[in-house]
Structure 1
Amino acid sequence: MSTRIGVITFPGTLDDVDASRAVRYAGAEPVALWHGDHDLQEVDAVVVPGGFSYGDYLRAGAIASLAPIMREVVEGAAKGLPVLGICNGFQILCEAGLLPGALTRNEKLHFVCRDQKLRVENADTAWTSGFTRDEEILVPVKNAEGRFVAAPDTLKALEAEGRVVFRYVGGNPNGSAADIAGVASENGRVVGLMPHPEHAIDLLTGPSEQGLGLFTSVLGTLAGAPAA
């Protein structure tokens, strides 16, 4: 039986189709999950994709974090379910309390869209186990509220505990604290990042194929881990 990875769609989600495509490229079965449902359909992992959920009218990710499906994701994560949040998905995971910190307006208040180098700071999470530490990957970034911020004590703890997963290299596109592009939960099962690995899985459509490594990583993690 193939690994089933759920991909959530909220009103305003843009990248659910791309995330599902990345799941297929990795060799798993994508399962569409609807924001208004309470059913994770027994998936093995979940991707919360990018977009502008609910138009970002209140605060990016704030409304989506209260959706029925997110209650199930929070409960699943507590039992070890691997969860990946990309861009707006990262914002949603922070708003839901699954990841620390917050994503705020970019430093120069401009929407940023460009190919971006990232350095893998932690290759021991559920979504980065296929990389090596200090490996650099090239993926697109596109956001207006991508500046990661956190209280000084939280930033200190993230660094000390090795929970910074990705860091911007060659320029910080949004003014994130300490060039942080992605962070992980304490157990490494939940990861969020602002850049878009699902847009870097095929040289025909992206700047590299290196983003696929996040999706193949979780398959390896699941193959080697007991069922949650």
Structure 2
Amino acid sequence: MKFLNLKTKPFPNQMQILSSKSILVLLSFVLIVTHCKASEPTPSPKEPPYFSGNDFDPVWTNHPKEDSKLKQIPNSLILTEHTGKQINFQELESKERLVVFFYATCRGICPLITRNLLQIEPSLSEFPDLKLVSISINPKEDTVPVLQKYKLNYKIQNPNWSFYTGEESIITKFAKETCGAEMEGFSTERGKYEFVHTENIFLFDKDQYLRGIYRAKGTGDIQRLVEDLRKLRTRNLTKAF
């Protein structure tokens, strides 16, 4: 006696529907994973990070122009050099720059930062076109003649080291929003409002993006700065080929 085989096979249409659903699920999974990977700031040992947003989060990307939150020298940064020449930083030639903030009458950290930069100049000798930028946070008093005298007093011979003054609002905005530098505050010790500012050195790449923040006190961060400059140069050479 033969028994009927009650096992049924899906019709061809059902097979197609199941296959289509499986493909859609798989594609959705791939897209989600890809999106997550693309949005995560994966550290790269080959280059220094960019910095993004209000918290200056480190970000590694091959397409910085697609991220408007990255810290970059703004078009509004127009300052006056110690030579008396007005400079638009966005129009400057494509060079890496180290930026520090100071003021000429400072008796605290400013002389220390300036002397430290003088001290580390030999370490930066392998980057002959590196620009050093000292921006006054007291532009009302630090006029062009004052900047010239300051440069002379410290016997600064490096032609790539420039000092700048300008509009206070422009400098303050750049320091706070682009560099994350504290510009001024109230001194409880002296009981008056006076300048309090950052001791950091800020590295900007050839495309004006912020790529590194280093302590100017001592020499502990200087080796890291030199290594980051080397990474930027290597990356630029790789892109050229």
- TM-score band w.r.t. shorter chain: under 0.3
Greater fraction of residues in helix: 2
Give the TM-score normalised by the residue count of structure 1.
0.27
Q: Which has the larger radius of gyration?
A: 2
Give the TM-score normalised by the residue count of structure 2.
0.26
Greater fraction of residues in strand: 1
